[in-house]
Every structure is written in structure tokens, then in C-alpha cells.
Amino acid sequence: MAAKFEIRTTEENGTTVYYVSGPIDEESRFSEIEQAHEKLIVDFRGVLTINSCGVRNWVNCMKKIRGLDISFRQCPPAIVKQLNLVPSFRANAKVLSVYVPYLCFQCDHESRLLIEMNELARGKEIPAVRKCDLCGQDEMEIDGDESQFKMYG
Amino acid sequence: MSTAPKFDPNANDQLICGLFSKKEAAQMIAEGGTHIHSTTMGYRDEMARFSNALLNEKNPEPHPWQLLTNCREVTLGSSGERYKLIKRATVDMGIFSRRGYSEKVECVMEELITNGIYHAYVNADGSNKYRRDSSVKLEDQETLTVRYGATQEGIFISVEDKGGRLTLEDIGSAFYRCYYNPDNQIVDDEQGSGLGLYMVFDLVTHFRVDVFPGQRTVVSCWIAGRRIAHPSIFSFNFFKRGA
């Protein structure tokens, strides 16, 4: 069964956290987030895909909450791609963390590493090479342009 | 806001070869460039030489990356079938478990198929026949043909509609708006966001459009595998046939 778009809400230290999951497309609505006030975090970890109309719907949501203290966290590569392609996708939001995708040159295994932006700001580097947890070789490299994951540090 | 360059239809059918960014290529396309190859090999590049040989041909042959022996061809008759088809394609191509790769492929297929359904067909007054927010059952003479296949080197995808409406000017203005006017990338249009082709062009290595005006449009893409992918190596080709 196909995953459905969903937004789940929790509170963390007085901040509302919105967990967005599933595919973001023309049918996705962000009414819960549009009603936010003051400070919020959007957790994108569960997002599977995002199409062009999904991007537009998100950008329209961001316009409605302009001026609030907005943070994005756990952004998967599909979201990082949009952060790079469409500046209004991010608008004035802070990016707290992103998943950097790795691909093994030996066995084509994929994995993701969560990178915190405040660690990059303190001088930590994104590992260029990692050990593959499937074949054990030190052959996992970043799948994509490293700079797109560092631009928020 | 950056003003779009003047589109020059006489710029057609000239090979532009060098090492460019896709943003630079977008400007060339907006000015009327039809055959753009970004390569470290210059005019010796195999694909550039191939394009050069096809210039001015009324029926240009496919590029080598469009010729896959294990290519599958599927007919799509409704908007509701597209997600099932896309999932099936990622399984058929053996990339379903490769999340990053399949995300790119799914995005490209969805945008091309959606364009084919909602932008290829018009009413007598020129308005779009099918609304983006509606579920669409295409008529028999409007079905899309989706082709896809995978090799060790990459993935081939093409979507063919029976409308033949896509123009170089449409592509160039969309690319230019998205690359050069970041505050105005998104179109406030019920038919779409205006981002689809831009997202596709950003993801793919080779991008080719064959238009038979009023008859059909074939948009073909190649997504290079990780081992040979390089952001500065790409091509764009636009062939208007039967002109």
C-alpha cells in the first residue's frame, strides 16, 4: 500500500514540532503548519518524494508563516535538493540538520548520515568516505555535490 | 528581477560545445540554442559529434543513450495509473532498493508524465483540455507512451504524447525564469507550478526533445549512474521535426 502524506504534531520544550511524512504533491495541504505562531520546527525525516506542485504548495505555506521563527531538521536528500533549487522553499527558515546520502562504489549499497549544521559551523567536516555497512569496504562516497549539504553551516 | 533574453529562432541548429553550468545552458536555451553539450572533451565528445551529425536533419536518429536493448514500453491511459507505473518501472530497472537513485527516477518520470497528461492537449479555444486537479482518462488517440530501461551506466526514460505542443521558447522561458529569477520561479497557475522541466533538467545528464508540431512530442532523458555522473557533463538537444 502506498504511503500517505501526513503531518503529526508534538511539543518539544515549548516548541511545536511538525513531522511531515509521505509524498508531498498537489494534494498535500499544510493547514496545521499555516496556523502556527511564534516558533516551530518542521521535521522532514519521513518525506519520501516531492513533486513540482508539492514544492509550490509548500512555498505557499511558507509565505503564510513568514516572520515566524522556523527551523527545518532531518531533511532527506529530496528536501535538500529543493532547498538548493528553490530559494523560497526555505525562505527565512534555519536548517538544523540534513541527511547526506552515501553510495558504495563496490556494492552500490546506499546509506545516509545525519549531519547537524551547528557542528559544521564549529568546523566539523562531512566525511568524504565512509565504511560500507554491507560489504565492509571503505568505498562509500557522498552521492551528489557535497557543497549542497554544507551551504547552511 | 532578471529580464529574459530575446529568443532568437535563427539560433537553431547550431552546436554549442564547452564546459558550462546548467544555469549558463539555460541562458543559451532561452536565447534559442537547440544543441548544447557541456563536456571536458570539447567538440571531440562522442555525444557532441553525434549531435553535430544530426544537425539540420528532418528525421534525426536517436542518440546512442536512447538505444537500449532492454527498454520497456508502456502505454498510459489515465492520470491514476501513473504512480503504479512509476513504482513498477523502478522495480523493473532494479533500482527500487536504491532509494536515492529511485527518488531521482521517480521525480523525472512523474514530472514528464504529468506534463504529458495536463499540458499536451488543448480545446479548440486553446485552453488546456485537462485540469491539473482532476483525475483524467485520456482518449484513445491521446495515450502516452512511456519507455524506460537501465544499464550499468545509467537509466533511460522517455515520455511521448500525441499533442506536439512543446516549443523551445516554452522550455527556454521556464528554465530562464527558474535559474535567473529565484523570487519568481513559481507560476501561480492551476495547471502546475512551472518548476517541472527545471527539476527534470537539473536531475538528468542528457535531455532531448523531439517535437512533431501538432502530432507528438517525445521528451527523453538519461540519468547517469554514480560512477560516471559529473554535474558539469550534460547535454540538451531540441529537434523540431517536419518543419
Residue B56 has pLDDT above 80, yes or no: no
Q: Across the interface, do B186 and A2 touch by the CB < 8 Å criterion?
A: no
Return the bridge partners of B155, or none: B150, B223
- A38: number of Cβ within 10 Å: 10
Mean pLDDT of B88-102: 88
Q: How far is A76 from chain B (nearest CA, A)?
A: 10
Distance to chain A for B186, nearest Cα, Å: 7
If pLDDT is split at 50, 70 and 90, which confidence band does A149 have? confident
pLDDT at A43 over 60: yes
Percent of chain A with pLDDT over 90: 74
How high is the pLDDT of residue B21?
93
pLDDT category at B227 given cuts 50, 70, 90 is low
Number of A:B CB contacts under 8 A? 69
Would you call B72 exposed, middle or buried from its count of C-beta atoms within 10 A (0-12, 13-18, 19+)?
A: middle
**Which helix (H) or strand (E) segment is A83 a member of?**
helix A77-85
pLDDT (0 to 100) of residue B206: 96
Test B101 with A101 for CB contact under 8 angstroms.
Answer: no
- B108 pLDDT tier (thresholds 50, 70, 90): very high
Pick from B231, B230, B94, B210: nearest CA to B161? B210
Residue A120 has pLDDT above 80, yes or no: yes
What confidence category does residue A38 fall into, taking pLDDT thresholds of 50, 70 and 90?
confident
State the pLDDT at residue A153: 45
Is B226 in contact with A55 (Cβ distance < 8 A)? no
| pLDDT per residue as tens digits for the range A78-96 | 999 999 999 999 999 999 9
Q: Hey, are the CB atoms on A143 and B182 less than 8 Å from each other?
A: no
Judged by a CB distance cut-off of 8 A, whether residue B14 touches chain A is no
Q: What is the mean pLDDT of residues B196-222?
A: 96
Segment A64-81, tens digit of pLDDT: 999 999 999 999 999 999
B11 interfaces chain A, CB cutoff of 8 Å: no
For residue B195, is pLDDT > 80? yes
pLDDT at B78 over 90: yes
What residues of chain A have any CB closer than 8 angstroms to a CB in chain B?
2, 26, 48-53, 55-56, 59, 77-78, 81, 85-88, 101, 103, 105, 108, 110, 143, 145
H or E segment and range at residue A99: strand A97-104
Q: How many angstroms away from the CA of A88 is the closest CA of chain B? A: 7
pLDDT band at B203 (very low <50, low <70, confident <90, very high): very high
pLDDT band at B57 (very low <50, low <70, confident <90, very high): confident
Q: How high is the pLDDT of residue A2?
A: 66
pLDDT on residue A65? 95
Per-residue pLDDT, A100: 94
Per-residue pLDDT at A51:
94
Considering only alpha carbons, which residue of chain B is nearest residue A104? B226
Say whether B107 and A59 touch across the interface (CB within 8 A).
no
pLDDT band, very low/low/confident/very high, at A105 (cuts 50, 70, 90)? confident
* Residue B163 neighbours by CB distance under 10 Å: 21
Region for A4 from its dihedrals, namely left if φ exceeds 0, alpha if ψ lies in -120 to 50, beta otherwise: beta
Characterize the bridge pairing of strands A97-104 and A140-142.
antiparallel
Which one of B83, B198, B227 has the shortest CB-CB distance to A105?
A: B227
Q: How large a percentage of chain A has pLDDT more than 70? A: 97
Specify the pLDDT at position B229: 62
Does B195 contact A103 at a Cβ distance shorter than 8 Å? no
